[in-house]
Structure 1
Amino acid sequence: MFDVDGIRAAVNAALTEEAGGALQYGATEGYGPLREQLAAFMTGKGCTAVAPENLIVTTGSQQALDLLGKTLISPGDKVIVEGPTFLATIQCFRLYGAELISAPIDGNGVKTDELEKLIVEHKPKFVYLIPTFGNPSGAMLSLARRKAVLEMAVRHQTLIVEDDPYGDLYFGQTADDRPPPSLLAMSPLVPGSRELLAHCGSLSKVLSPGLRVGWMIAPADLLAKATMCKQFSDAHTSTFAQATAAQYLKAGRMPGTLAHVRRVYAERAQVMCDALRRELGDAIEFVQPQGGLFVWARLTGAGGKVSDGAVFAKSAIDKGVAFVPGAPFYCAHPDHATLRLSFATVGVEKIVEGVGRLGSAL
């Protein structure tokens, strides 16, 4: 799955060409050559006017979310998130005392009419969204809704946090099948929105989660505060990991790597969905993902079968297979019939076997 040869070459290059920097302490905001490469990487994805000084390197995108919590949230502050959303985000923001407000979603992402009502009512410190292949839902915010989000950010002067770890993991082979541009890439269409947008990215899903390299692009004042918080937290992300990532990007291997991981994940997603239809039938419903790493499903209770994700999870563990029940992904009003299945780390044979065990557990 991983480009081991490419990563090995990047490690060797880091030690050969940059040992003085790669093995030393570094700047809190990130290793200079990596910031340059990441700025170019984001520019290549349609994000204009991204310079190295516009971003900081984080220890995975999860740290970017933690820094936002440290920097922005005071106890009692309201933060709007999607319902459902990334479990670790719920935990992180609550740790800093946020009151989380759930915005409903559908297959086209967050319902922007409802989101605007919540912004007006609650005046949140910020809105957190995963617009592209949401975790856990797999939903993709439509182009029209993306523009609407940026417009309401300006209208209400509300910060939008765009978490985009899955945006490169689309399965479509044609331009029409690919996701809309990120909010960051679309921001020039809505004057004033760039100053109200923080964008979090990661190499974990496309290169190696073990490198723990992410980044955040944000307005200068927010970036400065986040950098100060990071200095207190871990001084800087591993310079060795950063130098390795910089050399990998510099070598030009990323386009081939992205094409490879898209093919692998597309095949795994297809195999999982086919197996779910075959083994669980009308006892489960889901929309086949067009990207990302997950199938978000709902138990129907058809035929008197179990309809609670947590109960089903216990039965599945007894059969030697695990998934995450869906209820914890909601900050309010959980749907207990939901579950998240991941095809990220296992091959197609194991996927078929695992779904077969789910069928027997049901």
Structure 2
Amino acid sequence: MTFQMARRAERMNPSIIREILKVTERPGIISLAGGLPSPDSFPVEAMRAASERVLRDAPREALQYAASEGFAPLREWVAAQLAAQGLKADASQVLITTGSQQGLDLVGKVLIDPGSGVAVERPTYLGALQAFAPYEPEIVSVECDDDGPIPQALEAARGSRFLYLLPNFQNPSGRCMSAARRAQVSDAARALGLPIVEDNPYGDLWFDTEPPAPLAARWPEGTVYLGSFSKVLAPGLRLGYVLAPPELFPKLLQAKQAADLHSPGFNQRVVHEVIRDGFLREHVPTIRARYKAQRDAMRAALEKHMPAGCHWNVPVGGMFFWVELPEGVDATAMLPKAVERGMAYVPGAAFFADHAKANTLRLSFVTVSPAQIEQGIAMLAQAIKEAA
């Protein structure tokens, strides 16, 4: 090949989830794989009306280059929402990003040197591992239980650049950290001088009880907080945000300018037009109700069909079930058989930075009907029985 690749390019790998999504495009496949919001939840009419108002009232501004920090009224809205959750938030600390995935990349670019430590939960979000990998960190996996990271286990991350966490309905495990565990983890990280990167794409998708206050509310000067509009509006808008301590914000902004100058200004204005008068207070509860019903359908299907030796926790929000299969069953090796039967899932091994548990898998319940959920779980159960 004519081109010589950079060393960082060797650390870039395809997303197994994206590769599996290609399989699910086959006719008749019931996909419980992708972490995609339900398109039935997209506020199409509200978006159409907002787009018309933006193009009517500020067409030149909406279609022009914009400030790298983001649309000022949208930044102010974000800051107000976070302040209401107990965060120390000012609009000057809010950076609008091209999806929260870009926020992860900017954090990696600014904070990671080759060989520096980055601590993550075990398991953790695959997209974060992908975002951090090109900057050549040494990943430190922190042991977790059903309540999240074990505070004493943070000692293994001493000296790392940061600890990456998803406290609310974690992808992939679905777990939600209790208030007590958040306090313990935050206090332990502060004592170690270990900054926190808190990723919260699913926090609004609770079913019965709102999750506890963010870790960033306990240690604002030591926490970077990431949020997203993808799960409450539409992922195709590609809008997220970062709330950063004042001393870190300028470098994140410079990294953002180098990456794409700014996130789409038209999209930002449309989103602000939709949400500025309280639209989400009525819209998000409809998403919660839909997802809760689908969660209940998957729980019932798992209880009905799964063979002995399988274990799972019932999520109280978010989009995912995390399933542990009988010892010796390799979910990656089993996937082709499941696809032959007509369903797809994500093998759990991809979510581990090291010492992967091959007998785990992730199931998403939000993009398929209850009838399809039961059919897909029945197919999965048969594949497990054959593999066991």
Match of 1:29 among 59, 69, 72: 69
Of the structure 1 ranges 13-22 and 200-209, higher mean CA displacement relative to structure 2 is found in 13-22
Matched, 1:274 2:324: no
CA distance in 1, matches of 2:277, 2:58: 14
For residue 180 of structure 1, what is the aligned residue in structure 2?
212
For residue 96 of structure 2, what is the aligned residue in structure 1?
57
Matched, 1:220 2:246: yes
Q: What is the correspondence of 1:1-362 to structure 2 with a 5 Å cutoff?
A: 1-44=41-84, 46-115=85-154, 117-120=155-158, 123-172=159-208, 177-184=209-216, 186-187=217-218, 193-300=219-326, 307-362=329-384
CA distance in 2, matches of 1:343, 1:107: 20
CA distance in 1, matches of 2:118, 2:88: 28
> Cα deviation per residue 1:47-68 (whole Å; 9 max; x = unaligned)?
3442211110001110000000
CA drift at 1:283: 4.5
CA drift at 1:87: 0.6
Q: Secondary structure at the match of 1:80?
A: strand
Give the TM-score of the pair, scaled to structure 1.
0.91
CA distance in 1, matches of 2:307, 2:162: 41
CA contact (8 A) 1:36 1:52 kept: yes
Q: Secondary structure at the match of 1:351?
A: helix
CA distance in 2, matches of 1:12, 1:346: 31
CA distance in 1, matches of 2:232, 2:199: 15
CA distance in 2, matches of 1:107, 1:16: 51
**Which amino acid letter does the alignment assign opposite residue 28 of structure 1?**
S
Of the structure 1 ranges 196-205 and 348-357, higher mean CA displacement relative to structure 2 is found in 348-357
Give the TM-score of the pair, scaled to structure 2.
0.85
CA drift at 1:221: 2.4
> Cα deviation per residue 1:256-304 (whole Å; 9 max; x = unaligned)?
1110111111111110111122122324210111111100001125xxx
Q: 4+ residue stretches of structure 1 with deviation over 4 A?
A: none
Q: Secondary structure at the match of 1:199?
A: strand
CA drift at 1:227: 0.9
CA distance in 1, matches of 2:43, 2:371: 21
CA distance in 1, matches of 2:370, 2:58: 39
**Which amino acid letter does the alignment assign opposite residue 110 of structure 1?**
P
CA distance in 2, matches of 1:48, 1:94: 30
Q: Which runs of 5+ in 2 are unaligned?
A: 1-40
CA drift at 1:167: 0.8
Q: Secondary structure at the match of 2:290?
A: helix
CA drift at 1:157: 2.2
Q: Percent identity?
A: 38
CA drift at 1:156: 2.4
**Which amino acid letter does the alignment assign opposite residue 179 of structure 1?**
P
Of the structure 1 ranges 243-252 and 56-65, higher mean CA displacement relative to structure 2 is found in 243-252
CA distance in 2, matches of 1:247, 1:58: 18
**Which amino acid letter does the alignment assign opposite residue 255 of structure 1?**
R
**Which amino acid letter does the alignment assign opposite residue 280 of structure 1?**
M
CA contact (8 A) 1:38 1:52 kept: yes
> Cα deviation per residue 1:215-263 (whole Å; 9 max; x = unaligned)?
0001122211111111111111011111111111113210111101111
CA distance in 1, matches of 2:188, 2:378: 46
CA distance in 2, matches of 1:64, 1:78: 19
Q: Secondary structure at the match of 2:329?
A: coil
CA drift at 1:352: 2.1
CA contact (8 A) 1:18 1:243 kept: no
Q: Secondary structure at the match of 1:281?
A: coil
CA contact (8 A) 2:120 2:163 kept: yes
Cα distance, 1:57–1:136 mapped onto 2, change above 3 Å: same
Higher normalized contact order (CA 8 Å, seq sep 6+, divided by chain length): 2
Cα distance, 1:333–1:48 mapped onto 2, change above 3 Å: closer
Of the structure 1 ranges 273-282 and 226-235, higher mean CA displacement relative to structure 2 is found in 273-282
CA contact (8 A) 2:150 2:185 kept: no
CA distance in 2, matches of 1:47, 1:248: 24
CA-atom RMSD, angstroms?
Answer: 1.4
Q: Secondary structure at the match of 1:162?
A: strand
**Which amino acid letter does the alignment assign opposite residue 129 of structure 1?**
L
**Which amino acid letter does the alignment assign opposite residue 55 of structure 1?**
V
